[in-house]
Structure 1
Amino acid sequence: MVIEKKKWGDILQILLIRHGESEADILQVHEGRADFELTDRGRKQVRAMAEKVKKDFLPEIIYASTLKRARETATVLSEVTGVPLQLEEELMEYNNGVQAGLAFEEAKKYPRPVHLHDRYEEGESHIEFCMRIETIFSKILAASTQKRIAIVAHGGVINCLLRSFFHMPISQDFYFLNGDTGISLLEIKEYRKVVHFLNNTSHLDADEVLKSF
């Protein structure tokens, strides 16, 4: 990810927000590109997150995945904060092909990708996924004239965004855990990168936090 100070001024803060609980979590199926809606609990989580963002971390624009669970999360956030929303297809979750929507046991009949260039049938490889997210992240940063933006997406996408931010190797076996409606705040100030916090779920009740992973 190339950082060009002249593109967006002296400082840019980036909120990364995961969507709320979706129906796939209740059904115990693989999600990925399967397009499930939020549950009632997920909508409650989103409302609490939106109120916290409005109070403490108000952005100037919201970018979001077009998949239902992220789009609804971002729409509520936009309505609560009054901040404009821009949907981006390239922020969709990892394309897991034939695995999408399958029960965990049923999905085991499909071999798990081993190498970075492997993929599930009709899906994308890890390399293709990371490059897709790297590209849209770079485009968003290059176009940003705001002081703070929000990106509402998925666990896998947020992992790729964080890897890009930290310049981590694509092959590194490392995962950032993100709960439902978890909020992370990053900052780019001139050429210095700052992590204010990762996966903040303080807007959820204690029992909700335990259920959000």
Structure 2
Amino acid sequence: MQFYFIRHAQSVNNHLYDTTGSSAGRNEDPELTETGRRQAETLARFLRQTDPTFQKPSDRWNLGGFGITQVYTSLMARAVSTASIIGRALNLAPMGWEDLHEGGGIYLDDPESGNKVGRPGKNRAYFAAHYPELILPPSFNDAGWWNRPFEEYAQMFPRAERVLNDLLARHGNTEDRVAVISHGGFYNVLLRTIFKIGRDDVWFEKHNAAITRIDFGSGEAVLVYLNRIDFMPKELVT
């Protein structure tokens, strides 16, 4: 299996932090900015392109193309929007996967106590109206897919183990090429889980709409490249 971890394109909250250095006024489930939409469209075109003249048996840099066979996405709005643009370009229906969400889940800071308060998240009717091509998980909560308290940092690690185990159960020992649209914080926890990195003072940078490729096979995980963003015009890199 070739596994492609893709961070969502720039969200309203990303832009807020980049321009103010603060998360004050953040949205609980932000959409993409116009820059983010352009990033996602650029990414989708890059993932779609092929070069049939490239005939080498090993294509570590995807010079012949990607040939994505499956797209999974977090159910957070910024990820679903990114996945939808990719899915249309590749003629693939994205599949929602709850465990791919960013750390914390859907939440807002209580203005009086400062506590992080869980929020419902988008419901089935919202996704049906805005992203009819999205395949929702059968256990989806119709009142809102999150609907639970804030997720603490320590809770991200067993979730990353679940994602890794589920991914390998679905696609391990296959030739599948799987793209996952997720988030920067969860990316770090998942990489630490895959490569058994126990230290807390490690951080893997991840640009919006950047690609990391990991190949699974013969009982090993091979890190092919990290945070690939060379396909993005400089003015769109965030």
TM-score range, shorter chain: 0.7 to 0.9
2:74 corresponds to 1:74:
no
Do structure 1's residue 160 and structure 2's residue 184 form an aligned pair? no
1:194 counterpart residue number: 222
Q: C-alpha separation between the residues in 1 aligned to 2:74 and 2:188?
A: 14
* Aligned-residue offset at 1:130: 1.6
Q: For residues 81 and 180 of structure 1, what CA distance do their matches in structure 2 show? A: 20
Cα distance between partner residues in 2 of 1:141 and 1:33: 34
Q: In 1, Cα distance between the equivalents of 2:197 and 2:207?
A: 22
Q: Structure 2 stretches of 5 or more lacking a match?
A: 18-22, 50-64, 117-148
1:173 CA displacement: 1.7
User: Is the contact between residue 6 and residue 209 of structure 2 (CA under 8 Å) also seen in structure 1?
Assistant: yes
Tell me the residue number matched to 2:232.
204
Q: Is the contact between residue 70 and residue 94 of structure 2 (CA under 8 Å) also seen in structure 1? A: yes
Contact 1:20 1:38 in 2 (8 A): yes
Q: Return closer, same or farther for 1:62/1:101 CA change in 2, 3 Å cut-off.
A: farther
Q: How far is 1:129 from its partner?
A: 1.3
Q: What is the TM-score when the length of structure 2 is the normalising length? A: 0.70
Residue range with higher mean Cα deviation, 31-40 or 127-136: 31-40
Q: How does 1:104-115 map to 2 (within 5 A)?
A: none
Distance 1:138 1:33, change over 3 A: farther
> Which residue does 1:27 correspond to in 2?
16
Deviation, structure 1 residue 207: 2.9
Letter matched to residue 174 of structure 1: V
Q: 1:49 aligns with which of 19, 25, 43?
A: 43
User: Once the 2 structures are TM-superposed, how far is the Cα of residue 25 of structure 1 from its aligned partner?
Assistant: 2.2
SS of equivalent to 1:172: coil
Q: Which amino acid is 1:68 matched to? A: A
Partner of 2:169: 142
Residues 50-65 of structure 1 correspond to what in structure 2 (within 5 A)? 50-55=44-49, 56-65=65-74
Aligned residue type for 2:169: A
CA–CA separation in structure 2 for the residues paired with 1:22 and 1:66: 14
**Equivalent position of 2:152 in the other structure:** 125
Name the larger-Rg structure: 2
In structure 1, list runs of 5 or more residues that go unmatched: 1-11, 112-121
Deviation track 1:108-144 (CA, whole Å, cap 9, x = no partner) reads: x669xxxxxxxxxx42222211211221221122111
Alpha-carbon contact 1:93-1:157 (below 8 Å) kept = yes
Would the aligned equivalents of 1:23 and 1:36 in 2 still touch at CA under 8 Å?
yes
Matched AA of 2:37: R
CA RMSD of aligned residues (A): 2.7
1:186 counterpart SS class: strand
Q: Scaled by the length of structure 1, what TM-score is found? A: 0.77
Higher helix share: 1
8 Å contact from structure 2 (residues 70, 176) kept in 1: no
The 1:101–1:79 alpha-carbon spacing in structure 2 relative to 1, beyond 3 Å, is farther
Question: How many residue pairs get matched?
Answer: 185
- Asked whether the equivalents of residues 47 and 66 of structure 2 are also in contact (C-alpha less than 8 Å), the reply is yes
Specify the SS of the correspondent of 2:212: strand
| Equivalent of 1:88 in 73, 97, 107 | 97
* Alignment check: 8 A CA contact 1:32 1:93 kept: no
In 2, the alpha carbon distance for the partners of 1:25 and 1:66 equals 17
Seen in structure 2, the aligned counterparts of structure 1 residues 97 and 50 have a Cα distance that, compared at 3 Å, is closer
